[in-house]
């Protein structure tokens, strides 16, 4: 299946609550000892240039100077010249310091300014190493020449960046194999009740689909503006406390969903960030009530239609030998409520090194508890364990995101997000799978690991093996709608092996527009005028094609739909112009660009900076809906001007969407067979056509998945 998937994708050049809970007691303090909650972080220095995500960084000093004007270098100094000074015994550190000072005195500011001027010897631009005879400094071409000719220079090399990732823990549990099979957590969200998340981190950008903060502690609140709670954009920004404590939420979230310099287990899953902590002396803690409010909010988001696979809680306290439901009845109720709707609550087992007890709330029977292993499948000495533990996952020296960078952390806090990400991958592969289905396959396929402290064996999750047992359907690449005869709309899918599956048929409907929300992955459709519901907007069930009528758009015919990357839906109304839907799922639309003409398809590019549109021109006349003997015109609007691509003598194009590399995928009207093509707008050419075995030859709308 892997080879088929890759070959098929290469065709398209893929680079790419219950309301009663409000009355629950809020006064109980659930103290989190941060030496147990927080890992021991090792935060790398922030390089002055280029950023650590810049994989085009030059490979030589000369290339760097040519590109940036300066380069940062590391100089290894010779020690012989000052190895015996004044006969007094010196420490190695003192000797190194003297060599460094002497070396810097031997250099003079560059007197040969290049394009970027002379280069001064600036102490603020120099890093003196303590235990090695090294200097780190910025140089231009003239200063580099001095260094290379200096007799104290042993070597000089480019201070090149290395790119952090999760390469040791993701392959260990089969995460990379799951990606190769086509399962990445797409269209599922995971919620993190933690210290907040840096949503501006490039590896987490565009993943935040919901945020909230619950921190009822007066002046110690960590919610914006010191409020007890806040919901909406920016409410779960990571807390501003000094030290490492506020890195925790961004680090754990990255293990599950990051997609950049590091890649989480579910690298294409969405993220719900819920900040539940407050200041407690020099550390942080959370109240039981704030945890419950966070879980309640997750349930409310589920009820609003957001697909949430799991909640991650890398927090805890105390030691419990048995299940602890009676000790925490309200929290047990909240976790059970989520479980009842298929959302798993995944909790770290605690870092006290206990061999016969785990922390709360991991000890609650409805929670999924996770202990830690190292990358050699040994039980981590810090990990709590007991008979009631559910899973093991990597938790030692895990590299992940932190605000403005990356860091390495260890603890069961790092183990739980591996399971959370795995849960999202499995749920995205088979949305119909129940919580118990996923729990069972992870247990049955996990690698058995013996804890020699207590002779207890528990499964370390193995995602690829769990996927095979779960037996998901083949990944879908494309959703489409075909018009058979006079307005009989057939919804269909094309999977990674080119198989076409019909979802449903709607006789008498005139579905013309189709697109998928970039965050929620909900499928929307719009109707033309030859129907009893002209210009209506619909939600389409992706599993069976069932339509939910959202109402009239206010236009008689909506021929095309496209989501911009920010999740805003746009449409085209014939002889009216470009529409914008401001309040989904409301179907009401606003006309933003009037235009008297017909557009058959629209799509935004990946960055949301260009809107593409397609017209079918009949014999050189005005756009006409059936111009098989004419030409096709593709337009690109960048907000200020329109660029045109004329395709002469091709079949009509009535469906348009954007591929991950900003090529366009197209569907034809009344072709001989079902044919899907790829259009490169830059060269104004159709670069590929794929004929697929199906009678669906009139594609009205497509949505690339």
Nearest to 429 by CA among 266, 257, 253: 266
pLDDT digits (tens, 9 = 90+) for 76-130: 889 864 443 434 446 877 898 999 899 998 887 654 544 444 556 766 678 776 7
pLDDT digits (tens, 9 = 90+) for 659-676: 888 899 999 887 778 889
Residue 314's pLDDT is: 93
- Residue 200 corresponds to which tokens in the numbers above? 């501006």
In this predicted structure, the answer to whether residue 624 has a pLDDT above a threshold of 70 is no
In this predicted structure, the answer to whether residue 520 has a pLDDT above a threshold of 90 is no
| Pairing label, strands 674-680, 664-668 | antiparallel
Judged by average pLDDT, the poorest of 18-22, 307-311, 430-434, 478-482 is: 18-22
Question: Which is the catalytic residue, given 413, 526, 555, 694?
Answer: 413
Confidence label for 540 from pLDDT (cuts 50, 70 and 90): very high
534 dihedral zone (left: phi>0; alpha: psi -120 to 50; beta)? beta
In this predicted structure, the answer to whether residue 59 has a pLDDT above a threshold of 70 is no
Hey, which bits of 649-698 come out as E strands? 653-658, 664-668, 674-680, 685-692
Residue 16's pLDDT is: 27
In this predicted structure, the answer to whether residue 40 has a pLDDT above a threshold of 70 is no
Question: Which is the catalytic residue, given 201, 248, 251, 297?
Answer: 248
352 dihedral zone (left: phi>0; alpha: psi -120 to 50; beta)? alpha
Instruction: Please state, rounded to an integer, the average pLDDT across all residues of the chain.
Output: 82
pLDDT digits (tens, 9 = 90+) for 466-519: 999 999 988 888 999 998 866 789 999 999 888 999 999 988 899 999 999 988
CA distance 665 to 352: 54
Residue 194 appears among annotated catalytic residues: yes
What is the residue extent of each domain of the chain?
A: 29-44+165-432, 61-158, 476-704
Judged by average pLDDT, the poorest of 6-10, 54-58, 453-457, 550-554 is: 6-10
Residue 413 appears among annotated catalytic residues: yes
Give me the phi and psi of 58, to 5 degrees please. -60, 155
CA distance 120 to 507: 77
pLDDT digits (tens, 9 = 90+) for 152-206: 998 887 765 432 224 468 888 889 899 988 899 999 999 999 999 999 999 998 8
Residue 5's pLDDT is: 28
Residue 161's pLDDT is: 42
**Treating both helix axes as pointing N-terminal to C-terminal, what angle do 329-340 and 288-303 enclose, rounded to 10 degrees?**
20
CA quadruple 3, 5, 10, 16: dihedral, nearest 10: -120
CA distance 192 to 371: 18
Q: How far is CA 654 from CA 176, 532, 534, 665, 680, in A?
A: 37, 22, 18, 11, 17
Q: Which CATH class is domain 29-44+165-432?
A: alpha beta
Report the CATH fold assignment for 476-704: Neuraminidase (2.120.10)
pLDDT digits (tens, 9 = 90+) for 181-194: 889 999 999 999 99
The sheet with strand 601-604 has its strands ordered as 601-604, 611-617, 631-637, 642-648
Write the DSSP string, 360-426: ETTTSTTSEEEEEE-TTSPBPTT--B-TT--EEEE-SSEEEEETTEEEEE-SHHHHHHHHHHHHHHH
- Is the Cβ–Cβ distance between 9 and 220 less than 8 Å? no
Confidence label for 283 from pLDDT (cuts 50, 70 and 90): confident
- Residue 50 corresponds to which tokens in the numbers above? 């280029």
- Give me the percent of the chain exceeding a pLDDT of 70: 83
- Is the Cβ–Cβ distance between 48 and 72 less than 8 Å? yes
Q: What is the helix (H) or strand (E) element at residue 177, kind and residue range? A: helix 175-180
Mean pLDDT of 612-637: 68
Residue 52 appears among annotated catalytic residues: no
In this predicted structure, the answer to whether residue 424 has a pLDDT above a threshold of 90 is yes
- Is the Cβ–Cβ distance between 579 and 555 less than 8 Å? yes
Mean pLDDT of 306-319: 91
Question: Which is the catalytic residue, given 110, 169, 194, 415?
Answer: 194
Top mean pLDDT of 66-70, 225-229, 421-425 is at 421-425
Residue 673's pLDDT is: 84
Give me the phi and psi of 435, to 5 degrees please. -60, -45
In this predicted structure, the answer to whether residue 275 has a pLDDT above a threshold of 70 is yes
Residue 150's pLDDT is: 92
pLDDT digits (tens, 9 = 90+) for 433-466: 999 999 999 999 999 999 999 999 999 999 999 9
In the chain, the N- to C-terminal Cα span, in Å, equals 18
CA distance 554 to 335: 43
Positive or negative torsion for Cα 466, 166, 387, 435 = negative
DSSP 8-class letter at 42: B
Judged by average pLDDT, the poorest of 393-397, 529-533, 589-593 is: 529-533
Residue 23's pLDDT is: 28
Model pTM score: 0.73
């Amino acid at each position: 299946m892997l080879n088929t998937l890759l070959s098929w994708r290469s065709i398209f050049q893929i680079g790419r609550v219950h309301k009663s809970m409000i009355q629950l007691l809020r006064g109980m303090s659930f103290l989190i000892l941060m030496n147990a909650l927080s890992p021991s972080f090792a935060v790398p220095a922030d390089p002055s240039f280029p950023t650590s995500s810049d994989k085009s960084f030059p490979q030589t000093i000369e290339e760097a100077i040519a590109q940036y004007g300066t380069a940062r270098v590391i100089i290894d100094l010779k020690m012989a010249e000052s190895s015996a000074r004044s006969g007094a015994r010196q420490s190695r550190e003192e000797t190194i310091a003297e060599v460094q000072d002497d070396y810097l005195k031997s250099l003079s500011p560059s007197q040969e300014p290049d394009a970027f001027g002379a280069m001064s010897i600036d102490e603020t631009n120099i890093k003196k190493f303590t235990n090695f005879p090294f200097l780190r400094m910025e140089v231009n071409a003239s200063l580099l020449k001095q260094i290379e000719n200096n007799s104290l220079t042993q070597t000089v090399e480019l201070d090149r960046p290395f790119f952090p990732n999760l390469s040791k823990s993701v392959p260990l549990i089969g995460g990379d194999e799951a990606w190769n099979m086509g399962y990445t957590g797409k269209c599922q969200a995971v919620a993190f009740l933690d210290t907040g998340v840096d949503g501006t981190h490039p590896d987490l950008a565009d993943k935040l689909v919901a945020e909230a903060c619950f921190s009822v502690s007066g002046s110690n609140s960590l919610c914006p503006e010191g409020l007890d709670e806040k919901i909406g954009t920016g409410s779960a920004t990571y807390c501003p406390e000094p030290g490492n404590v506020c890195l925790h939420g961004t680090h754990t979230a990255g293990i599950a969903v990051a997609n950049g310099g590091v890649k989480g287990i579910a690298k294409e899953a969405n993220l719900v960030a819920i900040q539940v902590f407050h200041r407690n002396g020099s550390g942080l803690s959370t109240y039981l009530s704030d945890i419950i409010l966070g879980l309640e909010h997750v349930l409310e988001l589920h009820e609003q239609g957001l697909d949430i696979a799991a909640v991650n809680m890398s927090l805890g306290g105390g030691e419990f030998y048995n299940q602890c439901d009676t000790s925490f009845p309200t929290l047990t109720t909240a976790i059970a409520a989520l479980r009842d709707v298929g959302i798993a609550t995944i909790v770290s087992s605690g870092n006290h090194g206990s061999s016969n007890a785990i922390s709360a709330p991991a000890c609650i029977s409805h929670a999924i508890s996770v202990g830690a292993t190292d990358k050699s499948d040994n039980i981590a000495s810090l990990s709590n364990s007991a008979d009631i533990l559910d899973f093991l996952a990597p938790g030692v020296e895990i590299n992940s995101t932190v605000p403005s960078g990356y860091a390495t952390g260890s603890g069961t806090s790092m183990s739980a997000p591996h399971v959370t990400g795995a849960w999202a991958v499995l749920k995205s592969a088979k949305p119909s799978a129940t919580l118990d289905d996923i729990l069972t396959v992870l247990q049955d396929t996990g690698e058995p690991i013996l804890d020699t402290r207590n002779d207890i064996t528990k499964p370390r999750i193995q995602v690829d093996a769990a996927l095979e047992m779960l037996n998901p359907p083949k990944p879908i690449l494309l959703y489409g709608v075909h018009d058979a005869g006079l307005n009989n709309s057939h919804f269909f899918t094309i999977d990674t092996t080119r198989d076409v599956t019909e979802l449903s048929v709607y006789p008498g409907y005139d579905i013309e527009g189709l697109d998928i929300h970039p965050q929620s992955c909900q499928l929307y459709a719009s109707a033309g005028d030859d129907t009893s519901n002209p210009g209506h907007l619909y939600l389409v069930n992706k599993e069976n094609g069932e339509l939910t009528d959202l109402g009239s758009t206010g236009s008689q015919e909506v021929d095309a739909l496209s989501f911009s990357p920010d999740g805003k839906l746009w449409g085209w109304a014939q002889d009216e112009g470009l529409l914008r839907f401001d309040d989904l799922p409301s179907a009401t639309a606003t006309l933003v660009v009037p235009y008297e003409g017909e557009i058959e398809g629209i799509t935004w590019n990946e960055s949301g900076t260009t809107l593409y549109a397609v017209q079918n021109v009949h014999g050189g006349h005005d756009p006409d809906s059936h111009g098989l003997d004419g030409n096709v015109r593709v337009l690109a609007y960048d907000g200020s001007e329109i660029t045109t691509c004329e395709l002469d003598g091709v079949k009509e194009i009535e469906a348009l969407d954007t591929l991950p590399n900003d090529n366009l995928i197209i569907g034809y009207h009344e072709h001989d067979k079902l044919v899907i093509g790829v259009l490169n707008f830059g060269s104004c050419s159709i670069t590929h056509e794929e004929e697929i075995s199906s009678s669906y030859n009139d594609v009205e709308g497509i949505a690339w998945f």
